[in-house]
Structure formats: structure tokens, C-alpha cells
A and B are shown apart, each in its own frame.
Chain A
């Protein structure tokens, strides 16, 4: 008799292709708090750990359970539990288990500084798919220059050690910023020494969801120059090699959107959505423009999925500058620009951010190995030629 049960590796599951062929919700990110015990200089969301007003707004386990049930009805298989720092919540275990028991595959983003024996016991008994930990520095000095909390590096090392000792699948990542730039080589070595396949870094900092001008000024100060970003990417041979091999698909005039005034050509709201600590529903983690969000305390997830997302994705630009530049730019795959980031930078989803252009030009020049591309002239000329 042939077996009636088949084990299939998650990534090879034929069901995903079936789900992709129609509009299905695959996953959702759940920011269970915006509070964090660190005060990282570059963070787009962190509020103080003791922020009582923010805490009072956090979704309760019952509300999270209700939203998760709706997500599952829509087909969701994955849930990312993130924050803020999710382990800051006293009811983290309750939330984790209630999501797990609904059959969701869970990932957790954490700074690892609050990992305790009870978390280890939880993760050992009910394993997450993975836990992603950010390395802010490979030494106390650089780590705490970013985190602005004394003792946080020791707590990070301790928490990370507990996770590894327990055999929990950990992925490591780093943010590259002014305060840890000199330490990036050591950070990469720290990451690669601990995980073979899963270390990555991100040099592109987003502005804050709450628009806090003082914090946004700090993020601006932490941003690397385009040349520094390119130098970091060049130093990572595997990453740079992959970018170069994909150069023709990353930089391609045929992939631009001539004659289209849609704001969204990204994947926001296609298969995945974001749920904020206070129930705010967003198409992606960066999209905070007021016209694009609703609160799941007032609106069901199904309604948001079926009505809000199509409406948002159909939004158009009437800004001639945007339509003549960004919308027609062949470098959109190398650029941080999107409707969400444009809104965070300029207050308009079709606003221009010169810094993004400069980074994209520098990356293109490096990939093309042609410094004449560094001022973007070839792309600007192409924008003027095609589509008028």
C-alpha cells in the first residue's frame, strides 16, 4: 500500500503555486509592540519601554487571536512577530502560543537582549521557523553607540548564546549606519562565524512612522553616503557578485512604467500585510500614509483585504515631476524609492528624495563598472527620450 501521507519541505510545497495563481494572503507581520528596551539611533518605530500610552494601545491577546483567525480564513500560513521588541511584552508567551496553536508558521524578530530561560523552553518545545536577531555592533562600544543603553551588548551576547545553545534556528542581520560603520567588517565576521547562510546587512535607513523630527534628524545623520554604501556592498563579494550577475534585470529600461500613473508597482498588499501594535492595518511595514491605513479594531481584516488594498493599489499620481522621473527610471530596482518611503520622506507618496537617487546612481555605476553613470546622466537622458 502506498503511503497516504507526504512530507514536503515548506519551500517546495506545490500549494504555494496554487495560492499564487489567485489573490491569497500568505503571511502577515504583527508588530505586537512599538516599545523597545533599546533606543537605537536609526530605528523607525521604537518608543521607550515605559511608554504607558503606547502600551495601553497595544492589541490584547484576544484581539490578536481574532485578527489571526481572520488571516487564517484568508489563507495565511506565516506570521512574523515583531516590534519594537516583542519580548518586552509580559504576555509574549501567551501570544506566541495562541498563534502557534492556530497552525501558523512563526518567525520572530528580536534584539535578543531579553531572551530568558522561559523563552528558550518555549522555543525548544514549540520551535519557530526562525528567529532573526540584529547585530548593532560586534563590540560593546559600537553596539551601545547604536542602542544607547548601557549593558545592552552583554545582554545581546548572552541572549544570542542561549538561542544558539538551544539549537533554535537563528538568522543574523545588521543595519549599516554611521555609528557602527567602522565596525561593519567585525560585525560581518561576527555574523558569519555564527551562521553560515543567513547573515545579511542593510544600509538603507527609513524615516520614522511617527514623523518625530528630532529622531528623523538622527536617522539622517546615521545614513551612509552613496559611496559608503557602494563600498560596503563591494566588500561583500557574494552580495556584490549576485547584484552584478543580476545587473541586466536590476537595471532595465524595459521594466519601467511609461505612461502609467499608478503609485504602486511593488508587492505591497500582494500576499502579505502588516498589522501594527495598535491594530493599524498597512499594506507593508513602511506604508503609513493616512489614506492607506485602517484600524482593525474598527474594520475586519477581510474588509481591509478585499476593499482597502485594491483601493490603495489603484491610487494614482498627478505629479508631473514624478511621472517624468521616478516612474520612468530604469533604476527603480536599485532605489529605496517607493510610495511608502516617499511619504515618509516628503509627506507625499510621489515626492522625490534626492538621496535615494544618489544612492541608486552610485550603485548602478558600481554594477556597470562605469563611473560616468554616477551622476545619473544616462538615466535622466533615457527618461527624457522615452515617453516624452
Chain B
């Protein structure tokens, strides 16, 4: 599944998870069985992950997301693109994000 992911991919959160922000933390709550690795777990994203998650809207490509974040954080786009690709690959693998 991760093999098909590229910076041209457009991704969105799966309908089988809900993201909630509590006390400034982004928490991903799996709804359906088979999401994540183990039972009885929640998932959190760090600050970079949170910024990326917020842009996974099913409209932007991963490259566009990386460009936007590079401008917002005044950081090299290549490094940001690696972060975007790394996180989204992991989320796709965990079935928390779907490639459209």
C-alpha cells in the first residue's frame, strides 16, 4: 500500500477513525476493528504530525501540503516533504488515512 504513495497522492482521514483535539493534543480514536496495531490504544501525533494531519483534506496533494508547510514554518521543502511522506505512509499502513 505504501508503495503506491507519492507526493502526487491525495489523501484523507479514513472514515474509520475520528480525530479529536483535547487539551491541545490531537488524538486519533480508531472506530473500526483492524485499525492500528493493538486493541485498547489511542494514537497521538506530535506537533509536526498535527500540522500535516490538519491538511489531509482529500483535496491537496502531498506535494502541495509540503509546500504550504515549508512556507508556514520557513523550512526546506525537501525535508518537509520527507516528513509528510513518512507520516502519511505510516498512517496509510495503519489504515487511518486513505489514498484517494
B residues near A10, Cβ cutoff 8 Å: 40-42
Chain B contact residues (Cβ within 8 angstroms of A): what range? Answer: 20 to 34
- Expressed in whole angstroms, the Cα–Cα distance for A9 and B36 within the complex equals 12
What 0/1 pattern do residues 1 to 42 of B give for CB contact below 8 A with A? 000000000000000001110110101110111001111111
Do residues A7 and B49 form an inter-chain contact, with CB atoms below 8 A? no
Q: Kindly state the separation between the CA atoms of A124 and B34 in the bound complex, as whole angstroms.
A: 10
Q: A247 interface residue, CB < 8 Å from B? A: no
Contact residues, A80-115 vs B (CB, 8 A): 100-103, 105
User: How far apart sit A246 and B84, CA to CA, in the bound complex (Å)?
Assistant: 51
Q: Which of B46-80 contact A (CB under 8 A)?
A: 46, 48-49, 52
Contact status of A6 and B43, CB under 8 A, knowing A1-B82, A19-B23, A103-B20: yes
- Asked if A125 meets B90 with Cβ closer than 8 Å, knowing A4-B45, A4-B83, A5-B49, the reply is no
- Collect the chain A residues with CB atoms within 8 Å of residue B99's CB: none
When distances are taken between beta carbons in the complex, the residues of chain B under 8 Å from A126 are: 31-33
Say if the beta carbon of A348 comes within 8 Å of chain B.
no
Task: Decide: A7 near B38, CB < 8 A? Known: A1-B83, A15-B23, A127-B33.
Answer: yes
A126 CA / B29 CA spacing, docked (Å): 12
| Structural contact, B41 and A125, CB atoms closer than 8 A | no
* Interchain CB contact under 8 A, A7 and B40: no
Closest Cβ of chain B to A380, distance in Å, is: 46
Q: Residue B22 contacts which of A1, A3, A75, A102 (CB distance < 8 angstroms)?
A: A75
Q: Which of A3, A7, A124 neighbours the largest number of chain B CB atoms within 10 Å of its CB?
A: A7
Pairwise interchain contact A8-B41, C-beta atoms closer than 8 A: yes
Q: In the complex the two chains form, what is the Cα distance from A187 to B85 in whole Å?
A: 55
CB pair B48 A101 closer than 8 Å:
no
Total A-B residue pairs with C-beta atoms closer than 8 Å? 80
Q: Are A72 and B20 in touch, CB under 8 angstroms?
A: yes
Residue of A3, A9, A100 near B40 (CB, 8 A) is A9
Interface bracket on A: 20 to 34
User: In angstroms, how far is the closest chain A Cβ from the Cβ of B1?
Assistant: 16
Residue pair B25, A15 in contact (C-beta under 8 Å):
yes
Contact across chains for B31 and A100 when beta carbons are under 8 A apart: yes
Expressed in whole angstroms, the Cα–Cα distance for A129 and B29 within the complex equals 12
Which chain A residues border B45 with CB–CB below 8 Å? 4-6
Does A4 contact B42, Cβ atoms closer than 8 Å? Answer: no
Interchain CA distance A75-B27 in the complex, whole Å: 12
Contacts of A127 in B (CB 8 A): 33, 39
Q: Which residue of A lies closest to B23 (CB)?
A: A18
Residues on A with beta carbons closer than 8 Å to the beta carbon of B32 = 125-126
Q: In the assembly, what is the distance between CA of A105 and CA of B49, in Å?
A: 23
Q: By the criterion CB–CB under 8 Å, are B41 and A7 in contact?
A: yes
Query: What separation, in Å, do the CA atoms of A100 and B91 have in the docked complex?
Result: 20
State in angstroms the CA–CA spacing of A13 and B22 once bound together.
Answer: 12
Q: Select which of A3, A11, A13, A125 is within 8 A of B33 by beta carbon.
A: A125
Per the bound structure, the CA–CA distance linking A5 and B92 in Å amounts to: 12
Known pairs A15-B25, A127-B33 / 15 extra A-B pairs, C-beta < 8 Å: A1-B83, A3-B87, A4-B45, A4-B46, A4-B49, A5-B28, A6-B43, A7-B38, A7-B43, A9-B38, A18-B23, A77-B22, A100-B31, A105-B29, A127-B39
Q: Which residues of B contact A (CB under 8 A)?
A: 18-20, 22-23, 25, 27-29, 31-33, 36-46, 48-49, 52, 82-83, 86-87, 90-91, 94
A–B complex contacts, Cβ < 8 Å, 13 sampled? A4-B90, A5-B94, A6-B43, A7-B42, A8-B44, A19-B22, A19-B23, A75-B23, A101-B31, A103-B29, A103-B31, A105-B29, A125-B32
